[in-house]
Amino acid sequence: MRTIVCDLTRAALEELGIDFDEAVCLEELRAAHGCQGCFGCWVRTPGACVIRDALGDLPALLARSDELWVFSENSFGWVSADVKRALDRCIPFVRPEFRIVDGRMHHRLRHDRTPELSVWLWSPSTEAERACARHLADANALNLGMRSAGVRFVTDPLGCGAEGDSPAAGAPAPSAARVPALPRRIALVNGSPRGPRSATAHLLADLSEALGVYARLAGVAEPELVEVACRQAGADASGLAGCDTVVLGYPLYVDALPSGLVGLLGDAARLLAPGARVYALANLGFYEAEQILPSFSLVEGFCAAAGAHWAGGVAVGAGGMVLPVATTPRMGMLRRSASEAIDRMIAAILSGADAGTILARPAVPRWAYRLAAEAQWRRLARESGADLGATP
């Protein structure tokens, strides 16, 4: 059985003349909600999304599929915000508990079937974007228990060809920075679907508070801070206008940026002043902070498209610990790694410099983090009377 997910209309898909059994097209994607980050699909209705719309049964559809074909416009080196909405809603296809593959943490599989994942990206792409897309396709396949058939790049959505058919679009020529040497207006973007209840919100609040303290200690003008939220598609990006610095806060979502943030960046590319500095502050539920790094390539692709300056980011591992330890001392054992990483990025922000790549590794061993996280999932499932391993 072949299932297609695409940001083409159903009529345009049918023009391709490709055989398929099931398809989720632009009409369904635009009518569906983005993932809300509630994890009800794991602990209340395991294997099925609690949102009953056009994407509610997508995980069950994948469980019946032998092939998953994804057609999407290239968006900074991965899929469009519309297609990413569907990928985000695939979370219940796997279980919340963990497995270790090649020394790294991934989710346990819910189904025995292992569909083959094939991706087609249309519209021009740079070599850096192509490398990013290949990496993310392999990462998605690994975490979802699929087999990666790679990525093909085509000229237009109705074309079909081998890799290399689409001419690479060169990155914009560097322009003279038209932003102040030191930050004056900083946008703090919360890209988490959970909004103010998220680990991302806590990390951004920590950065905001500490940034003000360090600015006063250094005797420099305290920058204006602008909060921008993008829990779902269509978020207002106007707050980014006039910002010389942007901090993108987000949780790693199906190995990339959440769909709402992808959509916001599409609008932001037209709002940012050339040379604006962009930093990332990301976290993930897996233990290894290194798994976040490919998503930084997406942000770098956005910067190239927007004429902005990629200034590096902080990757926080074991993000499931962020909120449970939020009330402990900032420089105590449990928060020290993330706090020190944030402080290093603040130093770069206040001086208008690059932060590089900063990894915030957990203070507890992996086995302890895994034990605590899985105990939490089992407790929540028991309270809902649910079976974590259900296969609807």
pLDDT of residue 255: 95
3-state secondary structure of 208: helix
Q: Widest CA span of the chain, in angstroms?
A: 66
* Mean pLDDT on 104-116: 94
Residues 117, 18 share a domain: yes
Residue 168 confidence (pLDDT) above 80: no
Residues 61, 131 share a domain: yes
Residues 328, 220 share a domain: yes
Least confident of 118-122, 173-177, 280-284, 376-380: 173-177
Among 232, 240, 248, smallest CA distance to 194 is for: 232
Taking only the tens place, the pLDDT of each residue in 278-322 is 999 999 999 999 999 999 999 999 999 999 999 999 999 999 999
What is the DSSP code string of 55-100?
TTTHHHHHHT-SEEEEEEE--SSS--HHHHHHHHTTGGGEEEEEEE
Containing domain of residue 240, as a range?
Answer: 185-361
Q: Tokens in use for 130?
A: 């192509």
Q: Which residues of 162-178 are buried (b: 16+ CB within 10 A; e: fewer)?
A: eeeebeeeebeeeeebe
190 within domain boundaries: yes
Among 91, 9, 102, 101, smallest CA distance to 46 is for: 91
**pTM of this structure:** 0.92
Q: Tokens in use for 178?
A: 């038209």
Contact between 166 and 154 (Cβ < 8 Å): yes
Least confident of 135-144, 188-197, 231-240: 231-240
247 sits in which H/E element: strand 245-251
Residues 349, 200 share a domain: yes
Q: What sign has the CA pseudo-torsion 134, 87, 82, 301?
A: negative
3-state secondary structure of 365: coil
Residue 137 confidence (pLDDT) above 90: yes
Number of domains in the chain: 2
Look up tokens 């990332």; give the residue.
Answer: 280
Confidence class of residue 167 from pLDDT cuts 50, 70 and 90? very low
Rounded to the nearest integer, the mean pLDDT of the chain is: 91
pLDDT of residue 164: 47
Residues 196, 144 share a domain: no
Structural domain ending residue among the three candidates 108, 135, 154: 154
* Mean pLDDT on 136-158: 89
Residues 191, 141 share a domain: no
390 within domain boundaries: no
387 within domain boundaries: no
Contact between 40 and 266 (Cβ < 8 Å): no
Kindly list the distances between the CA atom of residue 33 and the CA atoms of 56, 196, 289, 366, in Å, as whole numbers in the listed order.
9, 19, 29, 34
Query: What is the side-by-side order of every strand in the sheet holding 67-73?
Result: 22-24, 2-6, 67-73, 116-122, 147-154
Kindly list the distances between the CA atom of residue 283 and the CA atoms of 1, 13, 253, 318, in Å, as whole numbers in the listed order.
35, 36, 10, 7
Q: Which residues of 44-64 are buried (b: 16+ CB within 10 A; e: fewer)?
A: bbbbbbebeebbbebbbbbbe
174 within domain boundaries: no
Q: What is the CATH number of the domain that holds 37?
A: 3.40.50.360
Kindly list the distances between the CA atom of residue 296 and the CA atoms of 65, 104, 250, 257, 348, in Å, as whole numbers in the listed order.
31, 19, 11, 9, 17
3-state secondary structure of 226: strand
Residues 331, 269 share a domain: yes
Residues 189, 149 share a domain: no
Q: Tokens in use for 46?
A: 């395991």
* Mean pLDDT on 153-167: 58
Look up residue 54 and give its amino acid. Answer: A
Q: 233: Cβ–Cβ under 8 A, 6 or more apart, which residues?
A: 34, 81, 82, 85, 259, 260, 263
Residues 88, 233 share a domain: no
* Mean pLDDT on 247-264: 96
Residues 306, 227 share a domain: yes
178 within domain boundaries: no
Confidence class of residue 158 from pLDDT cuts 50, 70 and 90? low
Residues 305, 265 share a domain: yes
Contact between 327 and 294 (Cβ < 8 Å): no
Query: What is the side-by-side order of every strand in the sheet holding 224-229?
Result: 224-229, 185-190, 245-251, 277-283, 309-316, 356-360
Q: What sign has the CA pseudo-torsion 290, 292, 296, 298?
A: positive
377 within domain boundaries: no
384 within domain boundaries: no
Taking only the tens place, the pLDDT of each residue in 173-205 is 444 446 778 899 999 999 999 999 999 999 999
Which one-letter DSSP state was computed for residue 188? E
140 within domain boundaries: yes
Residues 125, 83 share a domain: yes
